[in-house]
Structures are given as C-alpha cells and as structure tokens.
Amino acid sequence: MLEFRKDLFAAERDDNLNIVGKGAQRQDMPGHVTGRSPFFDDHAFEGLLHLKVVRSPHHHARIRAIDTTAAERAPGVKRILRGADVPLNKNTLLSLINFGKDDEPTLAVSKVSYKGEPVVAIIAETEQQALAARALVRVDYDVLPHVFDVEEALKPGAPVVNETYPNNYFEYHDRYDHSKLRFGDVDRAFATADFIVDDRYQMSPIEHAPTETNGSIAAPEQNDRFVVHSCAQGLFFSLGTAAKILKLESNRLHFIGGTVGGGFGGKVDSLTEPLSILGAMMTGQPVRYVLDREEEMLYGSPRGAERIYIKDGILRDGRIVARRIRSYFDAGAYTRLSSYAAIKCTAHLPGPYTIPNVSADIYVAYTNRCPSTAMRGFGITAVDFALEVHMDKGAEACGMDPMEFRILNAYRDEDMKAHRRVAKNTALIECVQVVAEKAGWPLSDEARRQSSLTGGGGARALIPATPIDDNGRIGRPETRTGPATETLPAGAMRIPMTKQPIMEGSAEARPTPAAVPQYEPYRPTPASMPPAYQPMPAAPPPAMPPTAATAPPPAAAPAPAPAQPTQHGAVRFSSVFGTRRR
C-alpha cells in the first residue's frame, strides 16, 4: 500500500505538473506481460556457436600445464581460447575512470586465485558439445595455500592472493592501505562519554539471483564490426571494457541491450562480453556465452561480505559524541568494484546523524574467493545494517526510546557532515515521525515538534580541530597504529568546492519550484481562462485528476482537432518510426 504525505515540504514543491507524479502504465509493460519483450538471448543467428569456460577447481593454485589436445579433437569443437589469445589479458573495470590498477585476467595464465576462475574457453557448435569438450581439458595445478578471512588476509605472511596488490589490500591514493575519514578528536570525545558501545558486525555475501543469468551474443557484422547483444547494466561501460581487452577501436563494437532481466549490480562486470566477441573474431561466426544457473550462483560475483566494527561514545542525555568505525570489504580475488564501494562507504559515514567526532578506516581486502562486485546499495547496505543495529544498542545503553534517540541525533539542514560539507535537503526526522504515527509508536511531544528545517547549523556547522595521522602506509603494516602527526585547525578544508549543478529555478537548499515548462490547463472557452501558472500544491490540473495514479493510462489524449488538419507525405515517416524497437 502506498500513500503520500503531500502536506510535508509542500512549500518547497510545485505539484502543478502534467504527467510527472502520475502512475502511468509503463511503456514496456505490454511487451513484458505478454512475454514478447526481446532480451539479449532472444536473438537467433544462423550458425550460432556456443562458448563454455573451464574453471579452476582450486581456491588458489599455480598452473603448471594446460593440455587441450583431446578437447580440440572433440566433436563440434571449433576453437579453444587460452589466455594468450586475449589481446590485453589484464583489466580492472574502473580503469575506464582511471581508478585502480589492472589486476584481473580474462583467462588465467600462470595461476588461479579463486575456485571457478576461468582458465580455458571452448567454442563448439552446440552447448552439449562445448560441455563435453570441457571435460577433456587437462590442467595441471600446484595447489597453493589460501586465505578466506579478510583480517587474516591483511596479516603479514598471508598467502598473496593477487600479485598486482601483493599486500592483499587495495591501495588508496598511492599511499595508504585503507580509506580514511577523520573529523574531530574521537579519542578525546570517548573520554568524555558516559557510555561506550562497541560491537562487531558481519554482512553475508549475497547472490544477485537475476531471473536472466549473465550472458551475451556477439556476431560479426558487415564492414568489419561486431554486433553484441548484451545484458550489461552499463552499455558503454561494457563496450569500453570489451574494446580495451580486445584492443579494438570502440566504434568497431555495436552494443545492443537496454532490456535486461534483472541485474541488481551483477551485470556491471562484463563477465561474458569480451570472450563472446573474441570468439566471434576468432571463428568469424556468431558466438553465444551464457552462464548457466549453477555458474551464476557460484561464480557470477556476489555482493561482497563486509566486517564492520563500530564504537560509539554517548552522553547520558543521548547525544552521540564520538563514533569510530573500522570496516573490511571482502573483494574476493580481484578488485572489480569493491574499491569504489569502500569510497562510497567512507563518504556515507557516520550515517544520517550529526556526530561531532568521527573516525573511520575502511579496508578492501583480497581473499581467495569469487570476486565480489556491485550489488544494490553496495558500500551502504551492510554499513546501514551495522549502524542501525548499533543505534538500537546505543538507545538501550542510555535508556532512550530508539526513535527518540534517532531524532535527537539526526542530521538537519546546515549541519556539518564528517566529510566537511554542509548538509542540505535533509528529511530523516520527518520520516521517523511519519512512521511513528503510522505504526502507533509513541513519541514524546518534543520529538514530534522536531524538524529537519530548524535547529541545525550554528555550533553544529563547525568543522572541529582534527588530529590526522599517517597510519597504514602501503607495504608497512607496522605503521597501522601510531600517534597523530599533526592537528588540522578548526575549519580546515583542503579540497576546493566543486561547482555543483543547480537546476534552473532552484536556490540553495530552498528550491523554488523546479524548472518546469508552464502549463495552461486546456480550457475550451476563453471565458474560464485561469492565470497560466498557479503554484497551488494541493490543486492538480483539472485535465488529469490524481485518480489517474491508479487508473490505466488515458487513451490517446483527446486533442482537439487542429484548426487546419495537415495531411501530406510526412505521414509515412510515422509508420517508419512506428516499427522502431521499443
């Protein structure tokens, strides 16, 4: 059930809109509900070949030899691909935005770092033939010691998972083994706290479990190009990744996708596109590479587990005065997107609360498991679980109701956030108040009177003096603990403010109605003409009453007949457009 509280923030909103805010039926719904929407795997090709990969049976092993002679002679096998066939056999996804070092091969060459890592690709005329030939590939391994636990992986002497990052952690700013957040003096604040709440949380890995598994079909197109039917969540992201790995100019690839059977973050990695295109290049025929359900479940990169330690210092009146967080992202064997998740997590801390002293160390650790990747809310979902359970414990420690405790500590407009920027456009307090009312959760009058719009700023807008450190230098684990090297003075800012786009018609934090075209509701007679633009939040335009939210979309708008109906050759263009793929 969905309802609105239009009364809240009404002064900041113009509800005099035509179609925005209406629950119109989706453009693609008829295709979806009749099973006719084309997905990547709905494209038939003459002579379609099928690609399957041989995967590592070991968590960590050196490859001594690969023997594909029996597989090459197997029925239907057209081509076998090995690491040496991949033009650039090392990549990291975020190299497209210059973040991180290339660390992951498309096909493993000298060692495997997780169970399920692709080693050899087989292209055959049928899926069954590819699977049969897969069983004939002989790979000799020397099994190496493995490490699964993030904190074990960071200890000196742990097995090296990923040679690009020989210390088993992602390197931040070419300087530190973790991402830092420092705001105020947490140690001093802990000493003033009446209660200390300290705990450890563990997020589980999670499988994306999309209805449509990862896959792609690549085919040689005329004029020396390749067409790729893809389920990528970022079309150009995948195109750019494939072009880099295959050393192709990007305009030789024509990616088609856009309708995807669920992703949840698991289709950002371009797991299949580079190999299916390479297969099409090598065979001159269309190649399909689709993960089966077992591969998707076991090797299709899960949500990464995170281990999170939180320590809060709380005063008797319920105010949180200090929060320290240490967190470990489990990247698995390769970076993929974990490096960015940790940045996102760092910037999210300490959650939607105004806490005057915050410190965080966020690590990305490599372990011998399937590389983790983006998943719905990554960088945030796990830490929100930890923070909000911790908030419940904090409320209990100081004897407060959990909702009152959140309202007391909630961030408000004009408060300084821990990353040294002012909070704007906040609404946490109102969300808590609305739910309390709905759920019959008793709140004090004082809590009910609070507002995100007032009470912030002032002393809460100050950047405190902050001790900073040089702990955790790359390759020097003995520097992980150490004293502060200097204290940044109060108010210190080191990063210039970026020019933030402000959409036309809005002002800092107190937007006038967003820039919208002006509507004059249709009136058949000039006599009843209203003023053109009436920002009356409660009054929707008469043409489309709010009941449209639950009704099916209106039939083609009954536009009045044009004064001079024009009819000429242009009409045939519309029939051409009418056949466009939706």
Site residues for other proteins, window 116-145 (CB under 8 A)? none
Q: Which stretch binds other proteins (CB under 8 A): 118-126, 156-164, 462-470, 473-481?
A: 462-470
CB of 37 or CB of 283, closer to other proteins: 37
Cα atoms found within 13 Å of the Cα of residue 418, Cβ hemisphere only: 28
CB of 44 or CB of 527, closer to other proteins: 527
Q: Report the C-alpha gap between 552 and 30 in whole angstroms.
A: 12
CB of 67 or CB of 486, closer to other proteins: 486
Q: Which of 111, 115, 324, 412 binds other proteins (CB under 8 A)?
A: 115
**Ramachandran sector of residue 505 (left: φ over 0; alpha: ψ -120 to 50; beta: rest):** left
Q: Is 577 in the site for other proteins (CB under 8 A)?
A: yes
**Ramachandran sector of residue 214 (left: φ over 0; alpha: ψ -120 to 50; beta: rest):** beta
Q: Which of 75, 442, 491, 542 binds other proteins (CB under 8 A)?
A: 442
CB of 2 or CB of 538, closer to other proteins: 2
Q: Which of 110, 198, 441, 446 binds other proteins (CB under 8 A)?
A: 441
Closest contact distance (angstroms) between CB of 178 and other proteins is: 10
Alpha-carbon distances of 48 from 228, 239, 472, 541, rounded to whole Å? 13, 21, 52, 54
For residue 358, list its beta bridge partners: 183, 323
Site residues for other proteins, window 188-247 (CB under 8 A)? 199-207, 209, 232-237, 239
CB of 1 or CB of 459, closer to other proteins: 1
For residue 227, list its beta bridge partners: 219, 254
Q: Tokens representing 127?
A: 């899926």
Q: Which of 50, 59, 79, 111 binds other proteins (CB under 8 A)?
A: 59
Site residues for other proteins, window 253-292 (CB under 8 A)? 253-265, 267-268
Axis-axis angle for helices 235-246, 273-283 (nearest 10): 50
Site residues for other proteins, window 143-182 (CB under 8 A)? 148-150, 172-173, 175-176, 179-182
Site residues for other proteins, window 66-105 (CB under 8 A)? 97
CB of 65 or CB of 503, closer to other proteins: 503
Cis status, amide bond into 350, omega within 30 of 0: yes
Q: Is 21 in the site for other proteins (CB under 8 A)?
A: yes
Count the residues of the shown chain that bind other proteins, applying the rule CB under 8 A. 182
> Shortest CA distance to 295 belongs to which of 51, 85, 48, 84?
51
CB of 66 or CB of 337, closer to other proteins: 337
> Shortest CA distance to 118 belongs to which of 301, 343, 383?
301
Q: Report the C-alpha gap between 376 and 404 in whole angstroms.
A: 29
CB of 136 or CB of 548, closer to other proteins: 548
CB 85 within 8 A of CB 282: yes
Q: Report the C-alpha gap between 295 and 292 in whole angstroms.
A: 5
Q: Is 483 in the site for other proteins (CB under 8 A)?
A: no
Site residues for other proteins, window 492-511 (CB under 8 A)? 493-495, 497-503, 506-509, 511
Q: Tokens representing 523?
A: 């009136």
Q: Which of 143, 196, 529, 539 binds other proteins (CB under 8 A)?
A: 529
Q: Report the C-alpha gap between 362 and 328 in whole angstroms.
A: 6
Binding mask 330-369 for other proteins (x = CB under 8 A): x---------x--xx-xxx--xx-------x------x-x
Q: Which of 2, 65, 84, 538 binds other proteins (CB under 8 A)?
A: 2
CB 167 within 8 A of CB 177: yes
Closest contact distance (angstroms) between CB of 48 and other proteins is: 21
For residue 55, list its beta bridge partners: 118
Q: Tokens representing 216?
A: 């792609």
Residue with tokens 């991180």: 100
Q: Report the C-alpha gap between 14 and 494 in whole angstroms.
A: 37
> What are the phi and psi torsion angles at 567 (to 5°)?
-145, 115
Closest contact distance (angstroms) between CB of 77 and other proteins is: 26
Site residues for other proteins, window 388-427 (CB under 8 A)? 388-389, 391-393, 401-403, 406, 410-411, 418-421, 424-427
